[in-house]
Amino acid sequence: MVTIKKIKQLNSIADYFQQDKVYNLIFKGSPIDDRTTQIADEIEKHSNKSKVLEVSIAIDKYSLSIGNKDIRLLELGTFLNSLISNCESPAILIEATSLDFSEILYLIDALSKQQNVTEIAISYIEPDEYSDSPSHIKETSEFLLSESNQKFVGLPLFALNSQEQMKSHLVAILGFENHRLGQALEEDDGASFSNMHAMIGIPAFNPGWENRSILRHLDHFESIKTRLHSYPATNPYELNKVLEALHKGYDRMVIASMGTKPAALAAAIFLINNVPKNTRQKQVGAIYDFPKKKQGRSVGIGEIYEYQISIK
């Protein structure tokens, strides 16, 4: 069972390593903007004491690239065990700012199955601003976050049973890129989703950002029966509670994580805890489009968070 134990707001990026905190393992992605560059620099200062591994997904190979190795998803647990088997209670940091939803999901899932892992620290740094597309009306301008994305597919190890013909309730965790939801609905074309529960972060990181998210998605809300839900954008614990409540009421639910990283963390924990309980009658799963992040997608440093998750 994976749970969110504590949410801490930090004063600086250096606070992740306060009191000479040493991590046995640090997982990170490639730096692409101010915040991911700054935390990568901070991690580098401590790399002589920690094993730092850069992670990226290669979904066409059903694998994660970790360091200089391609590890198949089914072999990820064995690989991680080889790194930490000699540690009684390893200290692990997942640098979520620079990682993708799917990468966070697979890392936490595999780590949660290690007998000696009881806690994981998750770092996340908000942007001061996202990069904008030109528009005369600020609320309708689009944040430029991704260069491209693929077709939505069922996430390996976390997909619904495709042999069942029943329709599912789509739970869309929304961010600022309305084209991603549009693509998911267009590709489905009414075949799989009976309705949609749209998750909006309110309050958002910055005042007014929630209005952008809602306005950018309004047209899609009219194309499928939709119910809006809100959750605090920086609080994955509260979103996880919403997801658990929905799961109690529905037999088939599919998660599409397209929002902020704290929301992605909530979705990952929900899936890790519930997919193993799937039965033919009651199932939850996930779809994803693996967007390619745009260089310089944000500017500056906003609030800094550490999420501590517990594994039992």
Exposed, middle or buried, 169 (CB in 10 Å: 0-12/13-18/19+)? buried
- Rounded to two decimals, what is the model's pTM? 0.92
Q: Is residue 133 a part of any domain in this protein?
A: no
Tell whether the torsion through CA atoms of 136, 292, 223 and 257 is positive or negative: negative
Three-state DSSP string of 209-256: HHHHHHHHHHHHHCCCCEEEEEECCCCHHHHHHHHHHHHHHCCEEEEE
Shared-domain flag, residues 28 and 118: yes
Shared-domain flag, residues 283 and 301: no
**For residues 119 and 137, what is the distance between their CA atoms, to the nearest angstrom?**
45
User: CA nearest 40: which of 57, 52, 58, 23?
Assistant: 52
- Indicate which CATH number applies to the domain containing 168: 3.40.50
Q: Is residue 188 a part of any domain in this protein?
A: yes
Q: Is residue 288 a part of any domain in this protein?
A: yes
Shared-domain flag, residues 189 and 237: yes
Domain interval for residue 124? 2-128+296-311
Q: Is residue 233 a part of any domain in this protein?
A: yes
**For residues 310 and 69, what is the distance between their CA atoms, to the nearest angstrom?**
28
Collapsed DSSP state (helix, strand, coil) of residue 195: strand
Instruction: Output phi, psi for 47, to 5 deg.
Output: -70, -20
pLDDT tens for the chain, 312 residues long, are 999 999 999 999 999 998 778 999 999 999 999 999 999 999 999 888 889 999 999 999 999 999 989 999 999 999 999 999 989 999 999 999 999 999 999 999 999 999 999 999 999 999 888 766 444 444 445 555 676 678 999 999 999 987 667 899 999 998 878 889 999 999 998 889 999 999 988 866 666 667 777 777 778 888 899 999 988 888 999 999 999 999 999 999 999 999 889 999 999 999 999 999 999 999 999 999 999 888 877 889 999 999 999 999
